[in-house]
Chains A and B, each alone.
Chain A
Amino acid sequence: MNRREALRQTALAAGAAALWASLPARTWAALAAPADWSGADEAMLTLIGDTIIPATATSPGAGSVAVGRFIITQATDGYPLQSIDTLRRALREIDAASRQRFSQPFPALGVAEREQVLTAYEAAPQSGAHPFRLIKELTLLGYFTSELGATQALRYDPIPGAYHGSVKLAPSDRSWAL
């Protein structure tokens, strides 16, 4: 039985056709809109995420998977309770840094300015855990487990079929998503 035939049989056996047809949308926009969060705050988180992981020639950025909604949902449902306060504090501090440096709110900045603000914010010492670490962690998690991030920025192979222990890596080869 070759791999294609194995896949076909399994798909039939497991009702996978129905499963695959019922997939949620390709982005986290399919998640319910978070309560207690303004659209502006969600948009700013998405913008920060898109600055961390921007669109490049080969793959879209974190903004295109609605990463702000994922960050809020994941922090609310799965992270320690103080994570919400940490996120709000980071938004305030990033916006303040933006106004101080460029006299404009963060969302009004161009890409280069946004990168400068975030790079400086990440490097600035903080007492305790750095809030940017949480935003970055959730951005990476949301992006690389989204369909676009996993399949375009990384290589996604749900059914490899075999394990090969020695594969020559070309400079353009991306990491496996799983």
Chain B
Amino acid sequence: MANHPTTPGAREHTFDAIVIGSGISGGWAAKELCEAGLRTLVLERGRDVKHRDDYPTALKNPWDFPHRNKTPRAVATANPIAKKCYAFDEATAHFFVKDDEHPYVQDRPFDWIRGYQVGGKSLIWARQTQRWSRFDFEGPARDGFGEWPITYDELAPWYSHVERFAGISGNYDGLETLPDGEFLPAWEMNDVEKHAQGKIMAAFPGRHVIQGRCAHLTAPQPQHLAQNRGQCQARNLCYRGCPFGAYFSSNSSTLPAAATTGRLTLRPHSVVESILHDPVTGRARGVRVIDAITKQAAEFFARVIFANASCLNTNLLLLNSTSARFPAGLGNDHGLLGRYVAFHNYRGSLSASIEGFEDSYYSGRRPTQLMMPNFRNVRKQETDFQRGYMVFFGAARAGWQLGNSTPGVGAAYKDQITSPGPWGISMMMQGETVPRKENHVRLSPDRKDAWGIPQLVTSIGYHDNDEKLMRDFLERGREMLEAVGAKKITARDSKQNPGLDIHEMGGVRMGRDPNTSLLNRWNQLHACTNVFATDGACMTSTGTQNPSLTFMALTARAAQHAVAELKKGNL
């Protein structure tokens, strides 16, 4: 902090810590750093979104939407990428980046789904939360494509730490492939799902059917009520923002907790252009910010900087943070920054019908699905592809939409299509992809965005391994649906672009060896130790789990380390 005493206004622009981004990991960084006593500046490139006040559609009925919540053509045409996201509609479009305002260059097709606002994508995430297992951390080294510098046992207490505060529902299933956490009560299965669970587990030992685990308060505990968050009302309109605060978001949970300390400064409309490197100390001294509206530049200073800009934006930011010491981007002495980007393979799905169960129904709308933890190549290599996949599935009765394919008109037709229709069952995959050097992002040499920052070029694609893994899922899925007694089984390859999974990870990967990785075991840049990256960018591999819970745990762990190192005088 002694390196800018003469800068005008430096005192007002100087903090103990700066957090870049206010999404799911940035919110955790802010909370942990503030609670540890650090005056923390959170820089968010988008507008402010206040919990409850700024959820304009949260309580709207279907008939309150002029296009009954379908995306009008003009909006769809203007947003060819965002419109592909399942959560993008008339009720949620205001939480998604508009494609024409934030261009990027697709070397190979990549659907980049973004949420630029306070809370980031934590407002519109799918809220499924599972711990990684030791097999996920050990897998890359076993299979020879990478090495995690931490173990499951090291992260486990941090999983517990974030689970207790966020509130995670689930059953204690006792599975080594999907370790139990600190759980609130699980959601129920319906009758057909229980039937499927019994049939599959009887026919296929080792394939476990369990209820999904999600960040919803099924039974709020004192620590949740203290956050002014209440019980999940089973509305399943979560992507609009939850007025009950029943699902975890930065807006409802971590940012208010950080603000309560009195040490948080939240600055929306602040596009961070670069992290400033100090050649004298060898550390970062602050950041350069472009005001999103006025486009004026300003600098802010701190002893510790957390990059939580979202996976690809953290890559972009570090690549754009050039200096005499780091001409190719901060911490990038080996050209590996931006490389080994991976994602989740969502291409395969199956659907089928189930006969019977005509007098059984359900009430309420459950915000999770059944899951099957990965059962492929867990303990040893067993197949002709690397790694594995998690399976999500669920059963439901057809609603009025069955009328589209039902012939007829008149009173009898109306009666038929307003009665609950036949049961259907569907399965989808969440497959691990292997991080590959050629899958990378880089800066465009000539194209810039509206803030003068180079556009990101994405060069990320599928590999033959992903095709094999998907085919295996479709075959195993079919055999499981047959065991359940399902009929009219159809398998589908969506061929969706990478990115639409919204689980992009890597590019600033963690590792033991500074020659092959960017971040150390505490998420510090090997070559600039007061810069931490704890969002998806840090991931050495992808696992088969939904990743946000792991980002949260890594962030809390790194924040505690940062505070300890500051106290020791090491940062």
Chain A residues with a Cβ under 8 A of chain B: 1, 3, 6, 9-10, 13-16, 19-20, 23-24, 26, 31, 51-54, 56, 70, 73-74, 77-79, 115, 118-119, 122-123, 133, 136-137, 140-142, 144-147, 150, 153-154, 156-169, 173-178
A20 vs B61: C-alpha distance when bound (angstroms): 10
B191 partner residues in chain A, CB cutoff 8 A? 165-166
Q: Quick one: given A14-B243, A164-B188, A168-B360, are A154 and B68 in contact (CB under 8 Å)?
A: no
Q: Quick one: given A24-B63, A162-B364, are A173 and B234 in contact (CB under 8 Å)?
A: no
Specify the chain A residue showing the minimal Cβ separation from B90: A78
Would you call the interface of chain B mostly helix, strand, loop, or mixed? loop
Specify the chain B residue showing the minimal Cβ separation from A174: B418
B 404-434 binary contact with A (CB < 8 Å = 1; else 0): 1001111101110111110000000000000
B68 partner residues in chain A, CB cutoff 8 A? 70, 74, 141-142, 145
A140 vs B404: C-alpha distance when bound (angstroms): 8
B409 with A115: CB separation less than 8 A: yes
B366 with A163: CB separation less than 8 A: yes
A177 vs B363: C-alpha distance when bound (angstroms): 11
B52 with A13: CB separation less than 8 A: yes
B364 with A161: CB separation less than 8 A: yes
A154 partner residues in chain B, CB cutoff 8 A? 399-400, 418
Does B379 make an interface contact (CB < 8 A)?
no
Does B79 make an interface contact (CB < 8 A)?
no
B231 with A19: CB separation less than 8 A: no
A58 vs B403: C-alpha distance when bound (angstroms): 19
Cβ of B469 to closest chain A Cβ, rounded Å: 31
Q: Quick one: given A146-B63, A153-B418, are A166 and B362 in contact (CB under 8 Å)?
A: yes
Specify the chain B residue showing the minimal Cβ separation from A61: B414
**CB-CB contacts below 8 Å: B176-215 with A:** 187-191, 193-194
* Interface segment, one of B39-47, B70-78, B143-151, B478-486: B70-78
B418 with A159: CB separation less than 8 A: no
Q: Quick one: given A160-B365, A167-B360, are A6 and B403 in contact (CB under 8 Å)?
A: no
Cβ of A142 to closest chain B Cβ, rounded Å: 7
Within 8 Å by CB of B190, from A70, A166, A175, A177, lies A166
A174 vs B417: C-alpha distance when bound (angstroms): 9
A14 with B52: CB separation less than 8 A: yes
Chain B residues with a Cβ under 8 A of chain A: 52-53, 55, 58-64, 66-74, 76, 187-191, 193-194, 230-231, 233-236, 243-244, 358-366, 397, 399-401, 403-404, 407-411, 413-415, 417-421
Within 8 Å by CB of B363, from A119, A123, A133, A167, lies A167
A56 with B415: CB separation less than 8 A: yes
B400 partner residues in chain A, CB cutoff 8 A? 140, 144, 154, 175, 177
A159 with B233: CB separation less than 8 A: yes
A160 vs B60: C-alpha distance when bound (angstroms): 15
B414 partner residues in chain A, CB cutoff 8 A? 53-54, 56, 153
